[in-house]
A and B are shown apart, each in its own frame.
Chain A
Amino acid sequence: MSFQRDERYAAEVGNVFGEYLLTFVSQPQGQVRADIFQEKKRVVAHVSFPTGALASQVTEPYVSPLWNYAREKGIADTFQLIMS
């Protein structure tokens, strides 16, 4: 599953970035991880590259799945990607 709630992460991350919602991991090798938080009306996906891939070279899709998620949830107007 690409979108899952990471309960251990949720317990540890705190709320400085807002309320933790869930985590996206790209398939098949997890080149991209996006932790999704909501702060008031804004929903932000903090995008990181845990395998060391560069943002300009990743081969696994993440932008399309994240925006599809935002549209399905009706939050596309307040959704934002920030690259870590």
Chain B
Amino acid sequence: MPELQISVDLPYYLRLAEGDYPTALAGEVVNVVAPALLEGASPRTSVRAQFAPDESADLDEIQKRRARCCEQLLRRINRLLRWYRSVSRQSEITELTRAQVSPFRFAAVGVIPAAEWTALLEYEAAGPQPAELTREQTTQDVRDGLASGNDPDVADLFLLDAERALHQGRFRETVLFCWSTIDSVFNRRYDALVDAALEGEWGEARDFFKGLDFKLRNKMSAAMRLIANRSLFREPGDFWQRLSGSYSKRNAIIHRGESATEDEAMQSVAVARQIIRIMDEV
């Protein structure tokens, strides 16, 4: 079992004493290290923790276990930052993404493991993405939008806000912005489908299908299957599980004040994008 110390440099200087900070009840600790004072550079606090993942000789398994250790370290760091932000009243101290603290530096504690365990693990915020539109297309679309006299669809703006929040480490807001997007896009299209499918029907029955009592996931599954032959429950892969997980996190944030991790925020963006795509297709 390799024993590893993983460390990162935060993009902040935290006015905290060096030493161990328990981040959970059961033995999770991060160690805060005083920043190196380098001429011409702003001081940045370093944080580290020790992990003992199960041994493996398989390169892919080693990568997964290292990634898992990084996730755990980041979770501890973000808990520390939430408390630091709250105590210090510094709103500019936000939670951090893997890319913001990258690279993760691995060092052996004790017996030296295989080199694959101690290589740097680097993350970036966004890889090389192709531009979706040419400059001419962008120009024409902007002119057309302005000529319409309207503002961009609020669902588009919410999703952009969600993506921005994700990159800024504002994970709770990412989830909430995504579900604002989903509520807006899904409900508008769904209501139109109900009206079309039940045209001429008793109004109260039609309103029941569109009402709050009918619950969102009932609308997304059985009702969508009836009116559009496209149940989100029957989408391929694990989409429904991811949608349900994201919805539960949204409710936990709103009703129980829970936080969200970077992965939960990323999942909510992926779910929102997929729902937009599905509702555009029906």
Contacts and interface: CB of A to CB of B under 8 A. Distances in A.
Nearest to B71: A56
B234 interface: no
A20 B130 CA distance: 12
A73 B128 CA distance: 22
B104 to A, nearest CB: 10
A38 B43 CA distance: 33
B129 interface: yes
B270 interface: yes
Contacts of B263: 54
Contacts of B270: 52
A58 B64 contact: yes
A67 interface: yes
Nearest to B120: A80
Interface in B90-118: 98
A14 B131 contact: yes
Nearest to A62: B60
Interface string A11-33: 01110110010000000000000
Nearest to B132: A12
Given A12-B130, A13-B129, A84-B127, A55 B67 contact: yes
Contact of A83 (B98, B128, B129): B98
Interface residues of B, number: 28
B233 to A, nearest CB: 17
Contacts of B267: 52
Given A35-B127, A83-B98, A56 B64 contact: yes
Contacts of B65: 56
B60 A82 contact: no
Interface in A27-84: 35, 37, 46-48, 51-52, 54-58, 61-64, 67, 80-84
A46 B123 CA distance: 9
A13 B128 contact: yes
B17 interface: no
Nearest to A84: B127
A46 B60 contact: no
B127 A80 contact: no
Query: Which of A35, A51, A61, A83 is packed against the most chain B CB atoms within 10 Å?
Result: A83
Q: Which 4 A-B pairs have the closest CB atoms?
A: A12-B130, A84-B127, A46-B127, A56-B68
20 contacts: A12-B130, A12-B131, A13-B128, A13-B129, A13-B130, A14-B128, A14-B131, A17-B127, A17-B128, A37-B128, A48-B127, A56-B65, A58-B64, A61-B60, A62-B60, A64-B59, A81-B122, A82-B122, A83-B98, A84-B127
Given A14-B131, A84-B125, 15 more contacts: A13-B129, A16-B128, A35-B128, A37-B128, A46-B124, A47-B127, A51-B237, A54-B263, A58-B64, A80-B122, A82-B127, A83-B98, A83-B121, A84-B123, A84-B126
